[in-house]
Structure 1
Amino acid sequence: MTYSSEKFRIHEFTRSFLDGLIASTLKRCGYHIYTIWLFTFSDLKTIIFPSTAFGIINALAIFMEQSSSSPETLTQKYWQLLKTIPMILFWTWINLLPFAINNQRKPDAIQEDLLNKPWRSMPSGRISPEAAKRLMFTTYIFAIITSKILGNALHCLTLIALGFWYNNMRGADRCWVIRNLINAYGFICFASGAIQVAIGKDQAVSHLLGWWYCIIAGIVFSTVQIQDMYDQRGDKIRNRKTLPLVLGDAFSRWTIAVPMLIWCWLAPLLWSSSMSGFVLPVVVGLIITRRTEADDKRTFQLWNMWLVSVYLLPLVKAYENLS
């Protein structure tokens, strides 16, 4: 065997080994990334996308009000906002992730997910409860660091406290009023945090839209029980005191329909909106209030769309002021 052929064989072996190592590493990384992704997949349409939409829409409204006399400045603001969209999505996701892990890692949560969502990371056996706990604490650190850099650490710390109350203190299980209250406060933390990322840390969003947060909190508090309508079997297994299990299915539907119909008209009125501001919230709201038990899961998705239509009101008002 010649020296050159031996060198060639060593080269081929090394290349094959490195290719296999890279492929194996990429496969493992892909597996773990997908495992992490599954923790938050169910909340894309309920938290991540609506909160991001709230941040973008209301930041646009703020920029339009602040730059109404300068089209050039407004254009610059648009480009600035466009660049922040990936960071808004990431901030929302990284703050949701540890909450979702904490919510899904307990034995009773795993049992519930075996019935309703067996594809999730815990019931499918992709990660152990101990590893999930370590991942949760790691992502808490990442969330705090990210929020500190972006200027909304208070939102992050509040979400951590709410998550502890909701999951560890079982605040979501013992009383439907407390459950709705935590949900409402959590929605506002995600939404206002998203705006803070969008407009930058030099402006205080509470001074700009403080009263609007109170309205959104009222809307969520009075209607968020819609998420409990389609999961009554799982909630009963975990002995949660959700509104449909405490007050009954039929009555609970009225507690959703009536507040939604009121907010459909009241929210645009509070913004002194023209008829254009009423159209989308009222139309989507009427569709939702006419849904039946068989439609509950899709109805919750429509509720999130309705909430985004309400989020549009400041932008509609800002556009009317420019016209």
Structure 2
Amino acid sequence: MNTVKRELRLFFDFTWRDWSTTLIPGLIVATGAVKHASLPAWNVARFVPWVACFIYFFNLSNQIVGVEEDRINKPDRPLPSGRITVQGAKRRWAIALAAFVGTALFNGNGHLIIETATWVTTTAFLCLTPYGGHWFGRNSVAMGTGTWALLNGIYKTVARPASVEERFFFVVAIWLATAIQIQDLRDIEGDTIVRRKTLPIVIGDRQSRWLISLAFLPLSYVVLWVGGIISMAPTTVSAAHVLLAYRTWHGTEAKYDHKTYMVGLSVGAAG
């Protein structure tokens, strides 16, 4: 029992920061799948095993290669705090990867190999290549592919997605890949220390805010318009983008920018 408690605690400590971008959207998507397929409500829980492996595999991968960075930015994490060794994390990484592939192969609504392979490839891109630390590779590429894999995969754990759902997930993935530049405004100091080439570091803080507010966010709005999502809630979605642009332009500190980022995630989840 103590071993189980410890493993659950480690899972929580490795992953809790990403729950707002995985488990919460997962619950929303799974609930929608149950409703559209007219399934009993308990089927919502079927997304949990695959998504748990999804986030555990990624966080272990990311934190194993990022121990030195976490000593600066997030010293409370299991590896820099000394609660687990790198070797111990690597063993759990192998188990998480095997479980991730296993849940993909034995899903009852058609295998999730494409979505799983996409996420494994995306994780390798982020953690093992220099392009994973560049603003375009990290945000415009990896966030798009990762979001598509997550949303499409979650739906398939519950029901077979129709073409309209698949198109919706594709549009949301492109939207996030365009709008997500906001996240790099939160930790310019830490990203500078680890030599990450985020947009604020490459072109400057004020210039990046100008570019995000007047180019990236309007472009992300166009993506939703072309994809037919704006028409679902035109006033709400339009007001949210104006608010994001305003907060991005006027942000001056990390806490404020983090709240702006969370507003952006809320827009994506609501979509």
TM-score range, shorter chain: 0.7 to 0.9
Query: Is 1:113 paired with 2:70?
Result: yes
Identify the residue that residue 192 of structure 1 maps to in structure 2: 152
Q: 2:12 aligns with which of 24, 37, 60?
A: 37
**Residue type of the alignment partner of 2:169:** Y
Matches within 5 A, 1:74-93: 77-80=37-40, 82-93=41-52
Pick aligned residue for 2:192 from 236, 241, 266 = 236
Rounded to whole Å, the distance in 1 between the matches of 2:51 and 2:82 is 26
**C-alpha distance in structure 2 between counterparts of 1:78 and 1:121, whole Å:** 42
Q: Following the alignment from structure 1 to structure 2, what is the Cα–Cα distance between the partners of residues 53 and 272?
A: 16
Unaligned 5+ segments in structure 1 are: 1-25, 64-76, 312-323
Look up the match of 2:53: 94
* Structure-2 residue corresponding to 1:319: none
Q: Per-residue displacement from partner, 1:4-36 (whole Å, max 9, x unpaired)?
A: xxxxxxxxxxxxxxxxxxxxxx33432232012
Deviation sequence 1:77-111 (CA, Å, 0-9, x none): 4443x2222221332121121111010012xx222
Structure 2 Cα separation of the partners of residues 187 and 272 of structure 1: 17
Kindly indicate whether residue 254 of structure 2 is the aligned counterpart of residue 298 of structure 1. no
Task: State the match for 2:22 in structure 1.
Answer: 47
Q: Amino acid of the residue matched to residue 202 of structure 2? A: V
Structure 1 residue 144 displacement after superposition = 0.6
- Counterpart for residue 285 of structure 1: 241
Residue 154 (structure 1) aligned with residue 111 (structure 2): no
**Contact 1:264–1:278, Cα closer than 8 Å, also in 2:** no
CA drift at 1:297: 1.2
| SS of structure 2 residue aligned to 1:96 | helix
SS in 2 for 1:290: helix
Instruction: Encode CA deviations 1:203-238: one digit per residue, 9 max, x unaligned.
Output: 3x3734343333223212211121111121221122
**Number of equivalences:** 261
Secondary structure, counterpart of 2:22 in structure 1: helix
Moved over 6 A (4+): none
Which runs of 5 or more residues in structure 2 are unaligned? none
C-alpha spacing 1:263/1:164, structure 2 compared with 1 (3 Å):
closer
Q: Is the 8 A contact 1:110 1:122 kept in 2?
A: yes
Matches within 5 A, 1:260-271: 260-264=217-221, 267-268=224-225, 270-271=227-228
- Could you say which residue in structure 1 is the equivalent of 2:210? 254
Distance in 1 of aligned mates of 2:132 and 2:58: 13
1:175-225 per-residue CA deviation (whole Å, 9 max, x = no partner) reads: 3222220111111100110111121xxx3x373434333322321221112
Name 1:307's counterpart in structure 2.
Answer: 268
CA contact (8 A) 2:15 2:55 kept: yes
Q: How high is the TM-score relative to the length of structure 1?
A: 0.73
Which residue of 154, 159, 169 corresponds with 2:129? 169
RMSD value, Cα: 2.3
Mapped contact 1:171–1:178 kept (Cα < 8 A): yes
Higher RCO (CA 8 Å, separation ≥ 6 residues): 1
- State the one-letter code of the partner of 2:78: S
CA distance in 2, matches of 1:234, 1:54: 33
Specify which of 220, 245, 254 is matched with residue 201 of structure 2: 245
Deviation of the 1:53 alpha carbon: 2.1
In 2, Cα distance between the equivalents of 1:235 and 1:198?
38
Normalising by structure 2, we get a TM-score of 0.86
Opposite residue 186 of structure 1, the aligned amino acid is: G
Q: Provide the secondary structure at the position in 1 that maps to 2:106.
A: helix
> Given the superposition, is the C-alpha separation of residues 158 and 233 from structure 1 closer, same or farther in structure 2, using an over 3 Å criterion?
same
CA-to-partner distance for each residue in 1:34-57, whole Å, 9 max, x for gaps?
A: 012211111011233124423433
Listed one character per residue, the Cα deviations across residues 222-281 of structure 1 (whole Å, up to 9, x for unaligned) are 11121111121221122111111111111222333233245446625642765x611322
Whether the aligned pair in 2 keeps the contact of 1:52 and 1:92 (CA below 8 Å) is: no
Do the aligned partners of residues 104 and 206 (structure 1) sit closer, same or farther apart at CA in structure 2, a change above 3 Å counting? farther
